[in-house]
Chain A
Amino acid sequence: MRIKFRTQTIIKEALDNLPSGICYLDSKGVPILVNKQMHRLVFALTNHDIQSISDFDTIMQETSAVLLTDNTVWRFQKKIVGENQDITEITAVDITELYQRKKNLEESNCEQQDILRRLEQAGQNIVSIARNEEILAMKMRIHNELAYALGFTRQYIASGCLEEKKAKYLAEQKQMAKKLLGEINNNDEPHLFSELRQTAEKLGMNIVFDGELPEPAENLVTSAVRESLVNTIRHADGDTVFVKATLDGQKYTVVIKNNGKPARGSITEGGGLSFLRKNIEKNGGTMTIASAPEFILTITLLLPEYQEEHS
Chain B
Amino acid sequence: MTNVLVVEDERLAGEMLCQYVRMAADRYSLVDTIKNAADAELFCLKAQVDLILMDICTAGNSSGLDAAEKIKLHFPRTKIIILTSAPDYRFIEKAIQAGADSFWYKDFSEEDLLTVMDKTMAGICVYPETTPSIDFGFTDSSQFTPKELETLYWLVKVGSISTIAEKMGISVDGVNKHIRDLKEKTGITNTNQLALAARGKRLILPDF
B-binding residues in A (CB < 8 A): 112, 115-116, 119-120, 122-123, 126-127, 129-131, 134-135, 138-139, 142, 183, 186, 188, 190, 192, 195-196, 199-200, 202-205, 219, 222-223, 226, 229-230, 233-234, 271-272
Contacts and interface: CB of A to CB of B under 8 A. Distances in A.
B11 A190 contact: no
Contacts of B159: 115-116, 119-120
A203 B49 CA distance: 12
Interface stretch (B29-37, B91-99, B108-116): B29-37
Contact of A112 (B47, B156, B160, B200): B160
A19 to B, nearest CB: 35
B154 to A, nearest CB: 12
Contacts of A134: 85
A127 B199 contact: yes
Contacts of B59: 190, 192, 195
B200 A129 contact: yes
Nearest to A227: B38
B73 interface: yes
B13 to A, nearest CB: 8
B17 to A, nearest CB: 14
B22 to A, nearest CB: 14
What are the 6 tightest A-B residue pairs by CB atom distance, in nearest-first order? A190-B59, A203-B46, A126-B200, A116-B159, A192-B60, A123-B199
Contacts of B199: 123, 126-127
A126 B86 CA distance: 14
24 contacts: A116-B159, A119-B159, A119-B192, A119-B195, A123-B196, A127-B205, A130-B200, A130-B201, A134-B85, A135-B12, A183-B12, A188-B9, A188-B11, A192-B36, A192-B59, A195-B35, A195-B39, A199-B42, A203-B42, A203-B45, A203-B46, A230-B42, A271-B70, A272-B70
A74 to B, nearest CB: 31
Nearest to A186: B11
A203 to B, nearest CB: 4
A108 to B, nearest CB: 12
Contact of B195 (A123, A186, A271): A123
Nearest to B200: A126
B166 interface: no
B196 A122 contact: yes
Contacts of B47: 203
Contact of A199 (B34, B57, B60, B61): B34
Nearest to B206: A123
Size class of B's contact patch? 35 or more
A218 to B, nearest CB: 8
B173 interface: no
B202 A190 contact: no
B118 interface: no
Given A188-B9, A196-B39, 10 more contacts: A115-B192, A122-B196, A127-B199, A127-B202, A183-B15, A190-B36, A195-B35, A222-B60, A234-B45, A271-B70
B150 interface: no
A192 B57 CA distance: 14
B148 interface: no
Contacts of B60: 190, 192, 219, 222
Contacts of B57: 131
Nearest to A118: B192
Interface in B72-126: 73, 85
B156 A123 contact: yes
A272 B66 CA distance: 11
Contact of A126 (B41, B46, B158, B196): B196
A79 B85 CA distance: 68
B12 to A, nearest CB: 6
Contacts of A190: 9, 35-36, 59-60
B10 A188 contact: yes
Given A119-B196, A127-B202, A195 B73 contact: no
Given A123-B196, A195-B35, A135 B160 contact: no
B10 A135 contact: yes
A199 B45 CA distance: 12
A229 B196 contact: no
A9 to B, nearest CB: 53
A183 B10 CA distance: 10
Contacts of A271: 70, 73
A200 B38 CA distance: 12
A182 to B, nearest CB: 9
A219 to B, nearest CB: 6
